[in-house]
Structure 1
């Protein structure tokens, strides 16, 4: 086995004491023909996350390379993702946060095998399951039935939910000079996918090799998507990022960007129960493309609002998930 590091696993963690061991175990179980390193960045956790990482560090000192922050940098608007990957030595970077985990011991090997034989591939992703805090499967993140090369337009219109973040692998050398639109983004995974798509080909492997956990206390989804007001703020910030992207690409992807902005505005209007959106041509087209289940939900909200509110009250009262 070559002594050089092929993959740097970047793991950002904060107050993940219930989940960090599952993440670390899923990194350690990887079966590869190459060396890899595990870069852990603990952002001053106030629970036992750091203590658990130290136990693993002592057991695997040549594999696990942690940073233990004394103060939380994310709250100071420091890009902790870049801070962690700056110290990477691998040819490729693989992402996985401390509350997520991988489920296939050959995940890294499969992605590296493809990227090593396709030098034009700048982002390799795969299917994943969204799971709850207990690891129970909720739904799949499977953007295509079968392996596929995604276009820049598809990545833009697909948004941050197109690929699970902990499926992403990309060449480390592309990490150094990220454009302004990336730096203006409210999140990092979506603009990172766009940036990498602009640099080469995005290859999707249609195999479930990761679990992306939702509902974790303190997670980005639970904090930044916890109210309609915060969601609207996030959408507005995303529009700003996409405008920077438009300028960066000389408006080459203007149609895809407009489609994405229209979709985001459509979702906001439906959440606000502004069903006049269904009468506008640009939103009619969006509604037609929705799956039957989503269409039904919207129509029920529109024509049976009292029943929907009563159902929500019952769910809240009896804590139905």
Structure 2
């Protein structure tokens, strides 16, 4: 007799062959009183990712259900997260990219128990470590609150994508059954997803560190999409458009928070364009003054000594690695 899973674990992968085993093993180690399914989407990886996934699929055929693309869909502008979202059978969807992993075997049980006890909750998130890609060295921790908390819409918007670790998300598919246009049109997936969750319920934070996500992964989205000044400027423009779209979608109910978020990306765009005078004027001046003295010194060094600043940044990253 086939049972319907309560939770669908969704994993999107592209050239994560060196990391996928950690991700899948962390799914398999989950101790739950309910059934789960593991949906893995590989977007035509050119490394050994399909081979790794196939090994696990052969070992756990009733649990792991992959999709192997032969042509990369992301490069065609397709929202690849939808492949797993649309086929998920679970009441809840747990997110983890192929280069990240969970660290607590009771993560899913804790989050689902909480959501079952709090029916107004549309998404739960938790603390997570940022780790160096190859060594798993902890660089910092994402812990937006000390103690459990319910994030307001304003906190979600102003927190940007740094507020919440993507691989900490478990959300209600029923509450987020219809994916809004601003989500489908966005150039990022996690940030607008949290905003969408906040529109349809509460986003609740559990103050428990239960996952790790890697930084410095070769070929990652950050490396591909934000590697050059031109790409970053283009990205900032798209984010500004996203905030305008959310503002219209919500009938300007959160205009102040969205305007502040948009101004922040305008600030970053001006900075990348080398318009240092403009970042100290108008609405951007407040953002500049809110920066720490250390960051302001770095900005001034970038303005007057751009070559030295760029060299120091590269040396710092090499030392971390």
Name the TM-score, length of structure 2 as normaliser.
Answer: 0.92
Q: Is the 8 A contact 2:93 2:172 kept in 1?
A: yes
Q: Does 1:132 align with 2:147?
A: no
Q: Is the 8 A contact 2:176 2:196 kept in 1?
A: no
Gaps of 5+ in 2: none
TM-superposed CA distance for 1:272, in Å, is: 4.3
Any idea what SS the aligned residue of 2:193 has? helix
Any idea what SS the aligned residue of 2:44 has? coil
Q: How does 1:43-192 map to 2 (within 5 A)?
A: 43-134=43-134, 135-192=136-193
Q: Does 1:224 align with 2:211?
A: no
Q: Distance in 2 between matches of 1:276 and 1:193?
A: 34
Post-superposition CA distance 1:190-246 (Å, at most 9, x none) = 111111100010101111111111221221111111112111111111111111111
> How many positions carry a matched residue from both structures?
317
Q: Is the 8 A contact 1:273 1:301 kept in 2?
A: no
Q: How does 1:15-26 map to 2 (within 5 A)?
A: 15-26=15-26
Change (3 A) 1:278 1:241: closer
Q: How does 1:180-259 map to 2 (within 5 A)?
A: 180-259=181-260
Change (3 A) 1:282 1:305: closer
Q: Is the 8 A contact 1:13 1:43 kept in 2?
A: yes
Q: Does 1:301 align with 2:302?
A: no
Q: Distance in 2 between matches of 1:251 and 1:307?
A: 42
Q: Distance in 2 between matches of 1:252 and 1:274?
A: 32
Any idea what SS the aligned residue of 2:251 has? coil
Change (3 A) 1:278 1:47: closer
Gaps of 5+ in 1: none
Q: Distance in 1 between matches of 2:301 and 2:43?
A: 47
Name the TM-score, length of structure 1 as normaliser.
Answer: 0.92
Q: Does 1:35 align with 2:35?
A: yes
Q: Distance in 2 between matches of 1:150 and 1:83?
A: 28
Deviates more, 1:125-134 or 1:264-273: 264-273
Any idea what SS the aligned residue of 1:170 has? strand
Q: Is the 8 A contact 1:115 1:124 kept in 2?
A: yes
Change (3 A) 1:245 1:278: closer
Q: Is the 8 A contact 1:273 1:302 kept in 2?
A: no
TM-superposed CA distance for 1:314, in Å, is: 5.5
Deviates more, 1:310-319 or 1:101-110: 310-319
Q: Is the 8 A contact 1:13 1:41 kept in 2?
A: yes
Any idea what SS the aligned residue of 1:265 has? helix
